[in-house]
Amino acid sequence: MHWSGLFETILSHPQITGRLENIILYSKNGQNSTTVIQQWPQKSSPATNRKVDQFEFPITETPAGQIILSASGPVNPDILRLVCLEWIGQQLRDELQHTENRFRRVMEEISTIHDINRMLSSGQEMEPFLKRILEHACHLLGAESGSVMLLTEDKTELEFRVVLGPKATEVSPYRLALGKGISGWVAANNKPILIPHAYQDERFDPSFDQRSGYRTESILCVPLAHNEQVLGVITILNRLDRQAFTEYDQQMIMTFAAQAAMALENSRLVREVLEKERIDQELKIAAEIQQRILPQSIPGHPLWEISTTYVPCKVVSGDYFNVYQRSENQTVLVIADVSGKGVPGAMLVSNMEAALVAFLRSNQSFADIAAALNDHIRLRSAADQYITFFIAEYNHLTHQLYFVNAGHNCPLLVHEDGSYQELSTGDIFIGFVPWVYHEGQVDIAATDLLLLYTDGLIEAMNAEEEEFGVERVIEILRAGRNKPIAGIRQTILDKVNQFADMTSFEDDLTMILFKRKQEEGL
């Protein structure tokens, strides 16, 4: 609470007569200990005048507090007490209303994300899809205008594709050179921008305002980017309450932009591959889409090393993996396996990846993310489709790994003494039934070696139909634990090939090997 408001109310209240000398607000730290929260005058000395009243009341900073007032003239303590309690009551009502409004907005945002995901899964035409995203954004932000601009084929200009607002018809045919104006700057730099006063920013181009008579006040502009490639921008103008946009507004629009960019990229790929022969090229089409989903490179870090393998048994695999840098000190590892291969499996992986990217932008726990992803896939897949899924986050400061295993092969954590752990905490695979998931936690020592894998590794069979199995994998990890991580990965592949006597795998095989780098001086 802003307690200065209480002092102002007391000092200006018409029913409080007399001359107040001191108003002091205390918090109680114990039976005989108090702390002054605020006092008036700010540099007043301890009260020497008559104490008018002293009483306890609840405050937000501590369990209870006291207000002590002193005066040199007659002051009615009952009126004073009533004024104080009425003021506190009003503050609590205001805070409750603020919380209720905040909750209502969060629920609207969640509903909007689900709506966008449904449209993304339905294969809707791109223009209506982008318009719907923009309508949601303008509604949630209470904005006057908004637009989606996409790069032209030669990537030298931005052109308006969807426009909402009072000057929409005048904007539609307009193009903007890359790097010019706010939108051009965002597209050229692949960075969002939030400007409270447009005409005070030298990057703002007022030429459209001058031609149309529109007045741009505040601007929120974010890039539409997929795999660091800018496809366009979303721009939101002028809140209806004439307040500036906030950082929270920016984060919300960036979530929408990530989903729109994913839809644009998939749409672009589909348009390209549909020019080929439909039947003969179907698997190649799906493979190209999937390759865009899988990481083209793994983010590096001075404190850990990763080596990955992805070997599809068909042109299109049902396996999925990725490595995300969630923050400077948080690295996320994901591996998954879809039931069924070919085009249906690739499409389900694409759907899952789009939802996962959106959920990772939130501050939800991995248990909540797994539950949300489960509901998302369950409502958008056939009855016989499901996904085994493992997600983990490594914290570079605490060296702890937080994870959820949704029915996937248990990752192996091999220790220096040869012992190992199977990371199994989590529950059922996703996409089958509603489920409440659980999160596990484990410490990663400097000498530990972690392997995430799909079932193509341990289910590879020899001529006697004997599986390669987990124990053989563990022995390879024990023997090679101190070798370079890329060499360990290659040894596993060589041993599997020798065991099964084959040049290609009967099932998709994906691996992620992870270990901490030895720190200097250790």
pLDDT digits (tens, 9 = 90+) for 16-75: 665 555 566 655 555 555 566 666 665 555 444 444 444 444 444 444 455 555 555 566
Q: Is residue 237 scored above 80 in pLDDT?
A: yes
- Output the pLDDT for position 59: 45
pLDDT digit string (tens) for 313-344?
765 667 889 999 888 888 999 999 988 666 77
115: number of Cβ within 10 Å: 13
pLDDT digit string (tens) for 441-474?
999 999 999 999 998 899 888 888 899 999 999 9
Look at 75-89, 241-255, 388-402, 458-472 and tell me which has the smallest mean pLDDT. Answer: 75-89
**Strand blocks (E) in 263-344:** 304-311, 319-327, 330-338
Look at residue 241 and give its three-state secondary structure: coil
170: amino acid identity, one letter = E
Burial label for 414, CB within 10 Å (0-12, 13-18, 19+), is buried
- Output the pLDDT for position 403: 96
| Whole-angstrom distance, CA of residue 121 vs CA of residue 107 | 21
Spatial CA neighbour of 472 closest among 487, 483, 457: 457
Angle of CA points 231, 235, 240, to nearest 5° = 160
Structure tokens at 516: 């901490």
Measured on CA atoms in the order 36, 37, 42, 48, is the torsion positive or negative? negative
The DSSP string of 363-402 is ---HHHHHHHHHHHHHTTS-TT--EEEEEEEEETTTTEEE
Look at 194-198, 261-265, 276-280 and tell me which has the smallest mean pLDDT. Answer: 276-280
Average pLDDT estimate for 342-364: 82
| Whole-angstrom distance, CA of residue 172 vs CA of residue 4 | 51
Average pLDDT for the chain: 79
Q: Which residue has the higher pLDDT, 122 or 396?
A: 396
Spatial CA neighbour of 333 closest among 391, 396, 407: 391
Spatial CA neighbour of 208 closest among 232, 184, 174, 177: 174
What is the pTM for the complete model shown?
0.49
Percent of the chain with pLDDT over 70: 74
pLDDT digit string (tens) for 400-440?
999 999 999 999 999 999 999 999 987 899 988 899 999 99
Q: Is residue 203 scored above 90 in pLDDT?
A: no
Residue entry with tokens 């984060």: 251
Q: Is residue 129 scored above 90 in pLDDT?
A: no
Q: How confident is the model at residue 94 (pLDDT cuts 50, 70, 90)?
A: confident
